[in-house]
Structure 1
Amino acid sequence: METAKNYTKQQLDLFESLPNKPYCMDDKPAYMLIRPKGIAVKKPYIQVNPPLMTIYFIFDDDKEDSALSWFDANLPAPLWTTQNFKNGHCHHCYKLEIPLCTSEFASIKAIKYAQSVYYAYALKLGADLSYSQLITKNPLHPQWRTTFWVDRAYSLDYLADFVDLPKKIPKKLEVVGLGRNVTMFEKGRHWAYTAIRDYMHHYSSHEWERAVKAQIEAINNSFEQPLPYSEVKATAKSIAKWVWQRFSYGDFSEIQAKRGAKGGKAKGQAYAAKREQTLKMKAKGMNNTQIAKQLEVDRKTITRWLSGVGQ
């Protein structure tokens, strides 16, 4: 547990990293408010991760007297734990050494990796798997018993060493936490790959970006707890820009032509081999029907090959 001096340092560090206008709340359930940082820190519940960035992994642990769940699970100590005096329910917070970016510059591979680590920790802690992480018990508020356990951040690789990462995240978790970022990106890009063909011919890049944003907004609105608009805007911008540049009419035509040429070449090579086999089989006394059946081609094709047509 940290000393009083370090406790004050932790409070100051947290205050510095808070969003300028965090979501906050007086009680649960209630409406979330957006307030300047100086006001929000006086609320019992607050948003600690800034837009487009995950600095903290927050786990919602609703077991009674769960302050030491991490210790019981043989996990590293969290940065802090906030505990409800009445029922012992807790939020545990781990600080990431390198904040996870979820903006247009984000790596979807990195987000998926972080999601796997988070999921594995939630399982081991016995924490709520559907927790959105948007707001948490404010560690600066006297309503909670706050314990700062360590004065350090962890890399994702270090955290991963303590758990078995899942090969696949359950489908129901595609719409909560970091899963929403992954789902929004994956569904959005697959839609864009098909839709770009129509927009490329008839619309400008600006109109294309608006269409992508509308699609991403629709995906986000399907979540029980939608992501903030900043996340939607960043994801839409990333997909729209990449797909428009990658599938410009010239590039798309060239890609299709190369695929066609590659397919035609492969098909021609396969037919050449079968024509050669046809001649050998005929020399052995097999009739056209038998050859066609064995080579799995039409009998008329065999007849054409043997008559010299198409050679």
Structure 2
Amino acid sequence: MAVPAHQLDIFYEDLPYKPYCADFLDRGLDIYPRFEAAKRRFIQGNQPCMVNYLFFDLDHEDSVLAWHTENLPPPYWTARNPKNGHCHICYKLETPFPTTEIASIKPIRYASAIQAAYAKKLGSDTSYSRLITKNPLHKHWDVVFWSDEAYSLGYLADFVDLDKKPAPEAKQQGLGRNCTIFDTVRHWGYRKVRTYLKENASYEAWFRAVLERVLKENEVFPEPLMYGELVQIAKSISQWIWHRFSLETFSEIQAKRGASGGLKRSKKYDDLRQQAIELRTKQKMSIRKIAEELKVSKTSVTTWLK
């Protein structure tokens, strides 16, 4: 199947202006202008902090048709190593989305689940960071464009069963890393920001604290996220929390929770109080027996009977 020139042009135009690239991955990555990087065997396929494409690395022979074997939709392209049959499979997204905006956590979480499900079906290399892909513009690879369609996340999801609760390994790979950092650091931040507000600390001090926490969480991943992406994630989390919470907000939330909890406790004790009265008046039980029956203290029973 011939490679359509217009699809190569689209992929080229979607590349970062200065992407990471390499001819040999074991020699490290370089950063070059797009026109120069496009001459390398491996290239950064997505814009920084943006997902246009989903990439999967398959390290087994005859892997180029794994999508067909697993009844998945035709990919945008495959780039196959002619020496060993290993390949990269690429799906183009209809609507790209950012990976560093906490406001976009829902599509990130959704795409992460889809990515994990496709990787599982395809038998994709779990250690693949998805930053660098086999460059379909390079003649070293056997490249086939199977479809010129860009897919929505919903369409891709129709072909797989999504895990409602991500597996531990899924949280450590691909977009799962972004979700893990967002969830962990924002919950930490909701508690921690009160200290900075009480001390009238600057936003800059708060941002530095959030960035430090983001960097710490990133250390646990087998393939850590790039520093630039982590800075953007830290900015998003720190701004989101800083502009939405104040000491007054926390006081209101705690007051509502306290009132709600008080009502629940009051209802619970009303029931116990009524039972205590009935056991005393109708069954003539002693205070000690009532306390044992209701599993409460004798002091509580005495108070209720008054």
Query: In the alignment, which of 39, 43, 47 is matched to residue 46 of structure 1?
Result: 43
Indicate the RMSD between aligned Cα atoms, in angstroms: 1.7
Question: Are the aligned partners of 2:78 and 2:143 in contact in 1 as well (CA < 8 Å)?
Answer: yes
Aligned-residue sequence identity (percent) comes to: 49
Q: Supply the distance in 1 between the matched residues of 2:237 and 2:102 (Cα, whole angstroms).
A: 11
Q: Which amino acid aligns with 1:186?
A: D
1:303 aligns with 2:291: no
User: What secondary structure, in the 3-state scheme, does the structure 2 residue paired with 1:29 have?
Assistant: helix
Q: 1:139 Cα deviation (Å)?
A: 0.4
Per the alignment, residue 256 of structure 2 pairs with: 258
Question: Are the aligned partners of 1:130 and 1:173 in contact in 2 as well (CA < 8 Å)?
Answer: no
Q: 1:225 Cα deviation (Å)?
A: 2.3
Q: Which amino acid aligns with 2:11?
A: L
Matched ranges for 1:122-201 at <5 A? 122-201=119-198
Query: In the alignment, which of 274, 277, 280 is matched to residue 279 of structure 1?
Result: 277
The gaps in structure 1 that reach 5 residues or longer are none
Per the alignment, residue 246 of structure 1 pairs with: 244
Give TM-score scaled by structure 1 length.
0.92
Per the alignment, residue 237 of structure 1 pairs with: 235
Q: 1:302 Cα deviation (Å)?
A: 1.4
Return 136-145 or 119-128, whichever deviates more.
119-128
User: What secondary structure, in the 3-state scheme, does the structure 2 residue paired with 1:142 have?
Assistant: coil
Q: Which amino acid aligns with 1:47?
A: Q
Per the alignment, residue 86 of structure 1 pairs with: 83
User: What secondary structure, in the 3-state scheme, does the structure 1 residue paired with 2:250 have?
Assistant: helix
Q: 1:260 Cα deviation (Å)?
A: 1.5
Residues 74/272 of structure 1: CA separation in 2 closer, same or farther (3 Å cut): closer
Return 111-120 or 46-55, whichever deviates more.
111-120
Give TM-score scaled by structure 2 length.
0.93
Q: Which amino acid aligns with 2:302?
A: T
Question: Are the aligned partners of 1:246 and 1:252 in contact in 2 as well (CA < 8 Å)?
Answer: no
Q: Supply the distance in 2 between the matched residues of 1:60 and 1:35 (Cα, whole angstroms).
A: 23
Residues 106/272 of structure 1: CA separation in 2 closer, same or farther (3 Å cut): closer
Q: 1:58 Cα deviation (Å)?
A: 0.7
Q: 1:180 Cα deviation (Å)?
A: 0.9
Q: 1:169 Cα deviation (Å)?
A: 2.5
Question: Are the aligned partners of 1:60 and 1:127 in contact in 2 as well (CA < 8 Å)?
Answer: yes
Residues 270/106 of structure 1: CA separation in 2 closer, same or farther (3 Å cut): closer
Q: 1:185 Cα deviation (Å)?
A: 0.8
Q: 1:23 Cα deviation (Å)?
A: 0.7
Question: Are the aligned partners of 2:15 and 2:45 in contact in 1 as well (CA < 8 Å)?
Answer: yes
Question: Are the aligned partners of 2:21 and 2:30 in contact in 1 as well (CA < 8 Å)?
Answer: yes
The gaps in structure 2 that reach 5 residues or longer are none
Q: Supply the distance in 2 between the matched residues of 1:271 and 1:169 (Cα, whole angstroms).
A: 40
Question: Are the aligned partners of 1:18 and 1:37 in contact in 2 as well (CA < 8 Å)?
Answer: yes
Aligned residue pairs, count: 304
1:223 aligns with 2:209: no
Q: Which amino acid aligns with 1:138?
A: N
Runs (4 or more) in structure 1 with deviation over 6 Å come to none
Q: 1:103 Cα deviation (Å)?
A: 2.7
Question: Are the aligned partners of 2:108 and 2:175 in contact in 1 as well (CA < 8 Å)?
Answer: yes
Q: 1:106 Cα deviation (Å)?
A: 4.3
